[in-house]
Amino acid sequence: MRASRLVQILLLLQTRGRMTAPELARELEVSVRTIYRDLDALSTAGVPVYSETGRYGGARLVDGYRTRLTGLTVDEADAVLLAGIPGPAAELGLGTVLAAAQLKVLAALPPELRGRATRVRERFHLDAPGWFHRQEETPHLAIVAEALWADRKVRVGYRRDDRTVERTLDPLGLVLKAGTWYLVARCGDDLRTYRASRILAAEVLDERFDRPEGFQLADHWADSADAFERTKRVEEARCRVRASCVRELRWAIDPSAARAVEDQAAALGADHDGWLELTIPTEKLEYLATELLRLGPNVEVLEPPELRDRMAETTAAMAAMYARTPAPA
């Protein structure tokens, strides 16, 4: 623990130039007395650190002294700092590790390039969850990540519908998708995906496992996500959509379905009245009815008949409601 703290003090002084003992103490969450002892230890070890007294005093390194990570370019440093996402790292139990790694990256850069690297964190921020979606609680994610790193089996309690099941899994990867964590794991001979927020308990086991030969997390996720989207859209409707409102479907229907519809629109082109006949895939027709109502008079369902009837009934009921004189307050 102390050795790690000494390295952090060295990197902080190299990165920031001069720091007082109270500043170092606050940064490292130790007492000022401990910082003085650590500075003495660094000096005894041959690190050229010295203290200046007075109003602008503090601890600093002799000019020109550096401990450096070799072979790191400024573009590589930019990429590392941009990739270091504090929220997800903390959920994985890696928050302090990420902070220390970023400090080492900054310390590795010469002064003339360090400013550019630090601007990355000032100018880019990733907020993974979509609008109006609350971050899911994942209290056992760090335990699962621990098993994942060590290639150890993990026993989990998992919520399925209204019951809890117990599974022993080989954790193969964690994926953060639109603010939601998913665990890709092997259960028996099957590869399955588990929503991390539904894990109610987790225990790392002593038993190790061998990862499947040739398994690539990114490729597996892309294939399974594509298969999920295809199986999810099992019904479709034929609609007339005003060409100028096709882009509004992005906010009304499933994003992947909206992309497919936009591709259709680009290939077909509008008629002389500015309308397009498009096929819109959906998980359920009853869902699509609610979604298409957002476009108001800019969409007309042509088929199937049951969806057209549902739209007609809903809009007629709305028209009748608004035709009535409101009751006095």
CATH of domain 2-61: 1.10.10.10
Q: How far apart are CA 282 and CA 301, in angstroms?
A: 13
Domains of the chain, residue spans: 2-61, 74-123, 141-229, 233-323
Q: How far apart are CA 26 and CA 253, in angstroms?
A: 50
Q: How far apart are CA 16 and CA 93, in angstroms?
A: 27
pTM of the model: 0.55
Which of the four pLDDT bands, split at 50, 70 and 90, describes residue 37? confident
Residue whose C-alpha is closest to residue 181's, from 128, 109, 242: 128
Q: How far is CA 224 from the centre of its chain?
A: 18
Domains 2-61 and 141-229 share a fold: no
Amino acid of residue 134: R
Which of the four pLDDT bands, split at 50, 70 and 90, describes residue 128? low
134-190 per-position pLDDT tens digit: 677 889 998 998 999 899 999 999 998 889 999 999 999 998 887 788 999 999 999
Q: How far apart are CA 138 and CA 195, in angstroms?
A: 9
Q: By three-state DSSP, how is residue 297 classified? A: helix
Instruction: Name the CATH architecture for the domain at 141-229.
Output: Roll (2.30)
Are 304 and 285 contacting, i.e. CB atoms less than 8 angstroms apart? yes
Query: If residue 177 lies in a helix (H) or strand (E), which one and from where to where?
Result: strand 163-177
Given this model, what pLDDT does residue 284 score?
82
